[in-house]
Amino acid sequence: MGAMMQKSPPTQVEQEFARGRRRFGRWRAEFPYHWDADEFVSRRELLRLAVMTSGALFAATAGIAALNYVKPLRTASRQLIAPAPAVPPGGVHYFQYPTAEDSAILLHLPDGRFVAYSGKCTHLSCAVYHDQQSGNLLCPCHDGAFDSRTGAPIAGPPQRPLPRITLSQEGSNIYAVEEVPQ
């Protein structure tokens, strides 16, 4: 038999042809000319980048939204609010808790129980006050109303109840123990 032919290394044109087939598919292999724009992003790569960016933005938005619903329990040191006889049944006492910048409301309900809530509306953090006529807690900013017994919203745009402040009574004194977000 004759001598075996050795395969010579591929020429530059053959290398470009093979590279074009892998990167750009059949149409590029059939059109093996070098363009200055060969290094730019292909439509497929651009679409892949757009999909990945959209997915990352969606995940980040979902994560931020989820963090708004997960609120840590804030505990503060025990604080004297008022002596119980100083707040008659149906009466109200305004105080600052857990810091001097945070307003809060202590209510002595007609049934004899004491309840305390954060003084900020859960809609846009406007100041909440007790209305003697209706017996409810009202927010003047957008006509929001909260049930004074439970802190639940009963009118207006607020969707969440007022954060309740846990109380303890020792002797005739009422103490705020912690704020519980709801």
Domain with residue 83: its CATH number is 2.102.10.10
CA end-to-end distance (rounded Å), the chain: 91
- List the domain range (segments joined by +) for residue 151: 74-180
Alpha helix stretches (DSSP H) within the chain: 12-24, 26-29, 43-69
For residue 5, being part of any structural domain is answered with no
57 & 101 share domain? no
The CA radius of gyration of the chain, in Å to the nearest whole number, is 35
Predicted confidence at residue 10, as pLDDT, reads 75
* Average pLDDT of span 36-65: 87
101 & 176 share domain? yes
Predicted confidence at residue 9, as pLDDT, reads 82
For residue 63, being part of any structural domain is answered with yes
Q: How confident is the model at residue 23 (pLDDT cuts 50, 70, 90)?
A: low
Predicted confidence at residue 140, as pLDDT, reads 93
pLDDT over threshold 70, residue 52: yes
For residue 114, being part of any structural domain is answered with yes
Mean pLDDT of the chain: 84
* Average pLDDT of span 40-55: 89
- What is the token pair recorded at 91? 């009466």
113 & 93 share domain? yes
* Average pLDDT of span 145-163: 95
Comparison of pLDDT for 178 and 4, the residue scoring more: 178
| Cross-strand partners of 122 | none
Predicted confidence at residue 74, as pLDDT, reads 55
Taking the C-alpha atoms of residue 122 and residue 139, their distance in angstroms, rounded to an integer, is 10
Predicted confidence at residue 17, as pLDDT, reads 61
Domain count of the chain? 2
82 & 62 share domain? no
* Average pLDDT of span 134-146: 94
What number of other Cβ atoms are within 10 A of residue 127's Cβ?
13
pLDDT over threshold 80, residue 148: yes
pLDDT, tens digit, for every residue of 80-125? 999 999 999 999 999 998 888 899 999 999 999 999 999 999 999 9
Predicted confidence at residue 122, as pLDDT, reads 93
Predicted confidence at residue 26, as pLDDT, reads 60
